[in-house]
């Protein structure tokens, strides 16, 4: 087991009740964050969750659960979302049909069909069609009108994101005024509507040529370079939700003046979380992989460090709607080469481990339901996330 934030496993019972098999654990001081039990194929009872229906209860009330496949190693994990409780008993019943629940995360990818590219614009065809994967056409660039809101999107019940699936390859933020899943309707009526306030919220960043928040890049010693030149790119929705949404993007032949390599990107977000996990896997990792946050003169930079993790963040009236917005990136302190900047970005330069790089990034908009509205509240949120990351790491 791992990734059990502020949770203590006290009890394991093996039994059979009717035709169901039962796994029981006791949690203390749970805070409504997802809990993950990894590599369940090694457990004689939990391995049945891979092939059979199963249900999870907390103090005899059913709670959401999901089996996921790790992109790192193909192992199956069991993810569930307890309610807040000082102490509770969680039971996992295999062979039992679960109740339906509304998804708390979602990921999607849509593009047009039936038309053709003319001078890098996609003309003709009908409405956007949702797909599980795509090889980005060589003709596709910014504002080609081929992919809905120009890339894949992912969201939790708290916040949404997208990245541009073209030479820009930068992450943008959808601020949400609702806890419902909203991305399937975004961008269906044109490319400009989400830049203005909608009933669900709006695009809150102007990314331009910057890192936005959490974007993949390379530090050339003076400035960032995004993933602009590649041989080809494919993108796939690995999980469209439940409790975790995941997206895989393969960059074949990412090239700069200093290197050329293949890279796989795995993005994921969990229910009740603002943070996206970014994991990169390289054929041959370049030096000075970097990420960061764009510089806005209306926002204040914040740096925090606790245990094994460091946070770079900004807070201020930096949303496109002139609201308060907090942006953050978390990385292991031991992997940080430098905290630096260029003309447009606060930058975290990172070293890789075993041809891999990992960081987390997120956003907090004051117009969210129960949104963070002050710098002090935002710093408290960042400190809480640092605690969770350190406690999760201690259990790996």
Q: pLDDT by residue (tens digit) across 149-198?
A: 999 999 999 999 999 999 999 999 999 999 999 999 999 986 678 999 99
**CB within 8 A of 354, min separation 6: which ones?**
none
126 and 78 together in one domain = no
Report residue 311 as tokens.
Answer: 């946070």
The pLDDT of residue 244: 98
Domain annotation covers residue 178: yes
Domain annotation covers residue 9: no
Domain annotation covers residue 30: yes
CB 243 within 8 A of CB 107: no
Q: CATH number, domain at 349?
A: 2.70.98
Domain annotation covers residue 373: yes
- Is the sign of the CA dihedral 344, 350, 355, 361 positive or negative? negative
Q: Is the pLDDT of residue 12 over 90?
A: no
111 and 89 together in one domain = no
The pLDDT of residue 191: 67
pLDDT digits (tens, 9 = 90+) for 46-55: 999 999 999 9
Q: CATH number, domain at 49?
A: 2.60.40.1180
Domain annotation covers residue 99: no
pLDDT digits (tens, 9 = 90+) for 104-138: 999 999 999 999 999 999 999 889 999 999 999 99
**If you average pLDDT over residues 228-242, what whole number do you get?**
97
| Average pLDDT over the chain, rounded to an integer | 93
DSSP calls for 59-115: TTEEE-EEEEE-TTT--EEEEE-PPPEEEEEEEEEET-PPPP---SEEEE-EE--SE
Give the span between the Cα atoms of 178 and 337, in whole angstroms. 38
pLDDT digits (tens, 9 = 90+) for 238-293: 999 999 999 999 999 999 999 999 999 999 999 999 999 999 999 999 999 999 99
CB 84 within 8 A of CB 25: no
Give the span between the Cα atoms of 76 and 47, in whole angstroms. 9
Report residue 383 as tokens.
Answer: 């400190």
Domain annotation covers residue 29: yes
69 and 169 together in one domain = no
- The parent domain of residue 235 ranges over 106-394
173 and 68 together in one domain = no
336 and 209 together in one domain = yes
CB 276 within 8 A of CB 288: no
The pLDDT of residue 190: 63
Q: CA dist 184 to 64, 154, 320, Å?
A: 22, 10, 22
Question: How does residue 229 score in pLDDT terms, banded at 50, 70 and 90?
Answer: very high
| Domain tally, the chain | 2
H helical segments located in the chain: 375-394
């Amino acid at each position: 087991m791992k990734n059990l934030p502020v949770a203590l496993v006290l009890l394991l019972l093996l039994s059979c009740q009717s035709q169901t098999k039962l796994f029981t654990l006791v949690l203390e001081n749970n805070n409504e964050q997802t809990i993950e039990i990894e590599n369940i194929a090694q457990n004689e009872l939990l391995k049945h969750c891979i092939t059979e229906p199963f249900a999870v209860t907390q103090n005899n009330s059913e709670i959401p659960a999901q089996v996921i496949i790790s992109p790192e190693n193909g192992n199956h994990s069991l993810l569930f979302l307890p309610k807040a409780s000082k102490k509770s008993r969680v039971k996992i019943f295999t062979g039992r049909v679960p109740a339906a629940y509304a998804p708390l995360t979602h990921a999607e990818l849509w593009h047009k069909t039936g038309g053709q590219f003319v001078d890098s614009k996609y003309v003709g065809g009908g409405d956007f069609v949702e797909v599980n994967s795509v090889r980005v056409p060589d003709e596709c660039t910014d504002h080609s009108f081929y992919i809905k809101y120009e890339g894949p999107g992912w969201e939790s019940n708290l916040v949404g994101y997208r990245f541009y699936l073209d030479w820009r390859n930068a992450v943008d933020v959808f601020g949400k005024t609702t806890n419902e899943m909203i991305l399937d309707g975004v961008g269906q009526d044109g490319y400009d509507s989400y830049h203005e306030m909608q009933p669900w919220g709006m695009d809150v960043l102007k990314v331009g040529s910057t890192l936005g928040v959490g974007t993949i890049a390379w530090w050339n010693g003076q400035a960032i370079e995004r993933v602009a030149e590649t041989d080809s790119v494919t993108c796939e929705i690995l999980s469209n939700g439940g409790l975790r949404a995941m997206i895989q993007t393969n960059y074949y032949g990412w090239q700069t003046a200093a290197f050329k390599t293949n890279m796989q990107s795995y993005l994921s977000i969990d229910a009740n979380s603002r943070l996206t996990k970014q994991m990169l896997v390289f054929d041959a990792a370049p030096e000075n992989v970097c990420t960061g946050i764009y510089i806005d003169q209306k926002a204040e930079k914040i740096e925090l460090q606790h245990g094994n993790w460091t946070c770079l963040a900004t807070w201020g009236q930096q949303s496109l709607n002139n609201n308060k917005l907090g942006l953050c990136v978390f990385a292991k302190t031991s992997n940080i080469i430098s905290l630096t900047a260029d003309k447009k970005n606060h930058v975290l330069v990172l070293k890789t481990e075993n041809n891999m790089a990992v960081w987390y990034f997120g956003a907090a908009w004051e117009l969210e339901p129960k949104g963070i509205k002050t710098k002090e509240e935002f710093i408290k949120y960042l400190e809480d996330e640092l605690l969770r990351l350190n406690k999760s790491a201690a259990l790996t």
